[in-house]
Amino acid sequence: MWFRTATDLAAAIRDREVTPREVVASFLERIEEMNPRVNAIVTLLEPELALKAADEAPPGPLQGLPIAVKDLEDTAGMRTTYGSPLFAEHIPTHDSLLVERLRHAGAVIIGKTNTPEFGAGSQTFNAVFGATRNPHDLTKTPGGSSGGAAAAVASGMLPFADGSDLGASVRNPAAFCGLMGLRPTPGRIPDHGPGDPWNPLPVLGTIARNAPDIALLFHALAGPDPRDPLSIQEPWPLPPTLDDFDPSSVRIAWSWDLGGLPVEPEVTAALEEARAELEALGCTVEDAEPDFSGADECFEVLRGANFAAAFESIVDDLKPTLRANVRFGQHLEVARVAKALALRGELFTRMREFLTRYDFLAGPTTQVAPFSVDIEYPTEIAGAPMGSYIEWFRSCSRITVTAHPALSVPAGVTPDDLPIGLQLVGRHRGELDLLRLARALRS
């Protein structure tokens, strides 16, 4: 049953064609087969406990569907390491808000998916569990930081997965693994910490094989919560109608490089095919993009300031690249942080105004194809040197600072059959329209 979509499985369980136990057992068999090669699921319930949890799963939209949550989310009684040796044996006593919602919706939490240390970086490896590999090519990375989640879904070990996205961490691994990955508007999926609850840069998101599966999981996670001051009050519809969509009325702004970023030719070639598919649907596609001036400064300064606060007490024990980020944040001048906050407001306004003329912005999710699992990040893209491990995913981080939702959709493959993603950016709080467009493009 593991190859069936999440929506098919949910319907089969509701109609009593299959039982939650049968579904979970099928995925456990797939995990036993695939995980030793991929290393995506790093903590796994004993089979008897997982099957017992399936038998006891409460009614809900996700009843009986297995999920392993990202190893940044606290799970009561289940090891949660945050990808750090400092927490290698840490067992929380409480569930995170996201885990609470999964359990309430009937999902069966069978384990945890791999992440880089504290989710920092878009290549999934750490000193606790090692590297996760891309199911499309085991010599390549699945991206990150939700690389364990994406690799688990792409290899059939999970029907869908949660993720978190600060700079690129849902969109990048979805693109590298040939999946869909949704970074929603800040507050759409509430999160109650730790850290600054007013910070809109880090969000929780969803990864799946298709738009209906994204929508199914998204419904279970979205909705207001008083513990998150940014949480959006309007409920997420269920079931959302994704087929009620007319592509011929859609205007899409197309950007090849999102403000002059270096992009590898094999990425551009795959995007050319995706653009032709959008035009064949009847969409009007025009070359255009908003002004991204200051986006990199905004992202890197605010990320550094937040990391300085989060990791001050353990900075000397962090991996070198993350330690450098924290030191950068600790030495920021107040005026530079204030300027970055002002830039964040300007970037939101520019994107909002730009999307009054267009329905969507489309461009590359990543600037490179999946690269070797043995390197931390590409040091050069299309001949342009990358100064740090956070520069190579600016195609995503420039969207992050606009606070607009973005969805990575499979765009095609390279000549070596490595997946490439198309990033679709929607209007503020426009997740449903993004999913409708993705459904029309990849039905």
Q: Where are the domains of the chain?
A: 6-221, 247-441
Predicted local distance difference test score (pLDDT) of residue 398: 98
Phi then psi for residue 51, to 5 deg, are -70, -35
Instruction: Provide the residue type at 216 as one letter.
Output: L
397 counts as catalytic: no
3-state helix, strand, coil in the chain (%, to 5): 40, 15, 45
Is residue 169 flagged as an active site residue? yes
Domain over 247-441 is classified CATH 3.40.140.10: no
pLDDT for the residue 197:
94
| 407 backbone dihedrals φ, ψ, rounded to 5° | -130, 125
Tell me which amino acid residue 288 is: A
Which of 26, 70, 112, 408 is the catalytic position?
70
Q: If you write DSSP's letter for every residue of 308-325 in order, what string do you get? A: HHHHGGGGGGS-HHHHHH
Q: pLDDT band for position 238 (50/70/90)?
A: confident
237, pLDDT greater than 80? no
Q: Could you report the per-residue pLDDT of 426-437, keeping only the tens digit for each? A: 999 999 999 999
Domains 6-221 and 247-441 share a fold: yes
Q: How many CA within 13 A on the CB side of residue 329? A: 21
Residue 332 has pLDDT above 80, yes or no: yes
Give yes or no for residue 132 having a pLDDT over 90.
yes
The CATH superfamily label for domain 6-221 reads Amidase signature (AS) domain (3.90.1300.10)
Looking at the predicted structure, is the pLDDT value of residue 191 above 80? Answer: yes
pLDDT per residue as tens digits for the range 4-49 = 999 999 999 999 999 999 999 999 999 999 999 999 999 999 999 9
Position with higher pLDDT, 192 vs 256: 256
Measured between alpha carbons, how far is 416 from 129 in angstroms, rounded to an integer?
A: 28
- Residue 11 confidence (pLDDT): 97
pLDDT at 193: 80
Three-class secondary structure of residue 289 per DSSP? coil
> Mean pLDDT of all residues in the chain?
97
Whether pLDDT at 362 is above 90: yes
pLDDT of residue 239: 67
- Average pLDDT on 48-77 reads 98
Mean pLDDT of 406-435: 98
- DSSP code, position 235: P
Which of these is catalytic: 96, 145, 164, 408? 145
The answer to whether 202 and 164 are in contact (CB under 8 A) is: yes
Whether the Cβ atoms of residue 191 and residue 97 lie closer than 8 Å to each other: yes
Active site annotation includes 145: yes
Query: Would you say 152 and 68 are in contact if contact means Cβ atoms under 8 Å apart?
Result: yes
Mean pLDDT of 77-101: 98
Candidates 169, 231, 255, 397; catalytic one: 169
90 HSE (CA, 13 A, CB side): 18
Q: Tens digit of pLDDT for each residue in 290-327?
A: 999 999 999 999 999 999 999 999 999 999 999 999 99
- Residue 244, pLDDT > 70, answer yes
Residues 130 and 38: beta-carbon distance below 8 Å: no
Annotate 327-356 with b (16+ C-beta within 10 A) or e (fewer).
ebbeebeeeeeeebeebbebbbebbeebbe
- Give the mean model confidence (pLDDT) for residues 339-351: 98
